[in-house]
Amino acid sequence: MKKLEYTFKTDTLFKMLFVQYPELLKKLVADLLGISLQSIGQFVIRNPEMPPENLGTNSAGWILT
C-alpha cells in the first residue's frame, strides 16, 4: 500500500480545509476557547496561499481579534 504524502499530522490538509471553509475554522476556534461564536468580532486568515515550499510544514497563519 502506498504511503500518503500528506496526513492530518501536517498543517497542509487542515489549511486546505479551513481556507476553503473559514466559518468552520471560526467555529472550531470558538469551541476550543469556550467562547460564543458571536463574541468573535473578526476572524482573518492572514496567509491563505499555500506555496509548494510550505507543503508538509506547520505554516498556520490565522488570527483572532
- In the chain, where are the structural domains located? 11-64
Cβ–Cβ contacts within 10 Å for residue 49, how many? Answer: 9
Model-level pTM? 0.59
Closest by Cα among 45, 47, 57 to 13: 57
pLDDT single digits (tens) 24-51: 989 999 999 999 999 998 888 887 776 6
